[in-house]
Amino acid sequence: MASTHISSIDFVLKETTYTRLCSTKKILTVNGKFPGPTLYVHKGDRLIVNVRNHGKYNVTIHWHGVKQPRNPWSDGPVYVTQCPIKPGANFSYEIIFTTEEGTLWWHAHSDWSRATVHGPIVIYPKIGTTYPFPKPHAEFPIVLASWFKGDVMEIIQTALENGGEPNKSDAFTINGQPGSLYNCSKPGTFKIMVDYGKTYLLRIINSIMNEEMFFMVAQHNLTVVGMDGAYIKPLETSYIMITPGQTMDVLITANQSPSQYYMAARAYAGVVYDNTTTTAIIQYNGNYTAPSTPSFPNLPNYTDINAATNFTQSLRALASMKHPVFVPKSIDTRLIITVSVNTLPCANNSCAGINGTRFAASLNNISFADPKVDILQAYYKKIKGIYSTDFPSDPPFAFNYTGDVLPQNVLTPDKGTKVRVLTYNSSVEIVFQGTNLLQSAENHPLHLHGYSFYLVGSGFGNFNNETDPQGYNLVDPPELNTVGVPKNGWAAIRFKADNPGMFDIILVLYVLHLD
């Protein structure tokens, strides 16, 4: 049997009735499921996903962490690589898997529809090869998600209209279930059945809208062996901290007294966060008296910055003969990009943000403006006036980015559809610099489409161009597709710009093929 093959699957987007937290509503789903169906492939396969939109909203689907070499048309972000799939329309995505191996995920990439439209991608090793660790007895996807009692599309639309913050979620879920600590939720709590002495693989996905999450299993140690579709050196730990968009492959051995044990997840705090805790149960097979309440894990406190930092800085790429590291040692292009929450003025100070303004996120003080035509189409068809190529390499204003008192002239960003052109096959470094504008510093996730990258360094305070690169890890940095920029800190990534196309980091980053 060939190790590479092409298969296809149908995704039908439709409204489906779900009851959670004592109330019933309709949510947008794929094939009626929340979370959506799991895609199973082997490394190097190709998959055709036929999306039929029977819902009432425009939708696109993104294959988070799949590099899609020379295939940006199927990457999915709305108005970047395609216009949305309208209600009643259909679109077929070709998903090209190359070096990815492990766990990734797919999700809607339009407005807030991804709150319910998402699901796992499982990428097995090529047929004839195996994991770089003993094969587990069984595996379970663990999808962390947000649940809102209200209509998620109405929530984000209201926030966009009034300029204020969107409502925080009412619960977190594990595989679609809030768990025992929420009203009307205990009977549906997700359970995993295990046999004593056997090892299992948890494929953990953070599809939550905003919050980084601590995750633990009571009285059991975890061994992290993969992240974002790449392997890492096995990391033994009692907990993980996982950023929205990240995936982790985690081994757990059922080596405790046969009983029931909670797995639980709660937020590592941002500025606005849901402070509830979601649970599921690991239940041993066998004859024993079940406890009235399963043992509960001692999760880190939601403000425990040391727990978050210690975990993240312990991650190392596997860097083996079969899974080598190709981090660029020298750099052709360096970008330093500030990540901020800003405000835009509103007529008569009529919006719900600070002092009647409208909240807006920005990179290098530029807030992305949706174009009328998707940028990839505009590039190939040479449609003028859709975007400009002057996204700055450095912050336009230099200031104490993480200070407590910041200048007022950087509160209001420019609005624009700006891109940065990269030379094909060049080595690129991007330093994401967090800011404390509006005193709203938080651990902020950033995801690069079209590439994985190496997280070569991170720290707190303002990035120092002279001294901080001296501490980079250029030997075995983890290969990721999503990074959490530390609160009031910075993160540096490196990659080779070898995938021509139009790809985005919230704003747009694309590679111009020059050969």
Distance of CA 29 to the CA centre of its chain: 19
User: How many Å apart are CA 174 and CA 198, to the nearest integer?
Assistant: 22
Asked whether the domain spanning 138-314 has the same topology as the one spanning 6-124, the reply is yes
**pLDDT of amino acid 507:** 36
For the chain, domain boundaries? 6-124, 138-314, 333-513
Domain 333-513 architecture: Sandwich (2.60)
Nearest to 283 by CA among 380, 218, 367, 350: 218
pLDDT in tens, 266-290: 999 755 578 899 999 999 999 999 9
Confidence check: pLDDT of 508 > 60: no
Weakest mean pLDDT among 265-269, 424-428, 457-461: 265-269
pLDDT in tens, 300-327: 999 999 999 999 999 999 999 999 999 9
* Residue 514: band (very low, low, confident or very high) from pLDDT cuts 50, 70, 90: very low
DSSP, residue by residue, 149-164 = SS-HHHHHHHHHHH-S
pLDDT > 90 fraction of the chain, expressed in percent and rounded? 84
Mean pLDDT score, 251-264:
98
State how beta strands 6-20 and 46-53 pair.
Answer: parallel
Question: Strand (E) positions, 371-474?
Answer: 414-416, 419-423, 426-434, 444-447, 453-460
Beta bridge partners of 25: 18
Higher-pLDDT residue of 160, 258: 258
* 138-314 topology per CATH: Immunoglobulin-like (2.60.40)
Q: What phi and psi values does residue 173 have, to the nearest 5 degrees?
A: -130, 155
State how beta strands 507-512 and 419-423 pair.
Answer: parallel
Nearest to 363 by CA among 408, 414, 438, 406: 414
Helix (H) / strand (E) containing 201: strand 199-206
**pLDDT of amino acid 505:** 66
* Residue 511: band (very low, low, confident or very high) from pLDDT cuts 50, 70, 90: very low
In this structure, are residues 43 and 74 in contact, taking their beta carbons and an 8 Å threshold?
no
Indicate the pTM of the whole model. 0.95
User: How many Å apart are CA 337 and CA 395, to the nearest integer?
Assistant: 6
Q: Which amino acid, 288?
A: Y
Inter-CA distances, 150 with 114, 115, 210, Å:
15, 12, 17
Mean pLDDT score, 47-55:
98
Sign of the C-alpha dihedral, residues 508, 315, 302, 239? positive
DSSP, residue by residue, 328-390 = -SS-SEEEEEEEEEEEE--GGG-SSSGGG-EEEEEETTEEE---SS-HHHHHHTT-TTS-BS-
**pLDDT of amino acid 146:** 97
pLDDT in tens, 118-157: 999 999 999 999 999 999 999 999 999 999 999 999 998 8
* 6-124 topology per CATH: Immunoglobulin-like (2.60.40)
Q: How many CA atoms lie within 13 A of 124 on its CB side?
A: 15
**DSSP type of residue 501:** E
* Residue 461: band (very low, low, confident or very high) from pLDDT cuts 50, 70, 90: very high
Confidence check: pLDDT of 3 > 80: no
Q: What is the mean pLDDT of the chain?
A: 93
* Residue 504: band (very low, low, confident or very high) from pLDDT cuts 50, 70, 90: confident
- Six token digits for residue 277: 């805790």
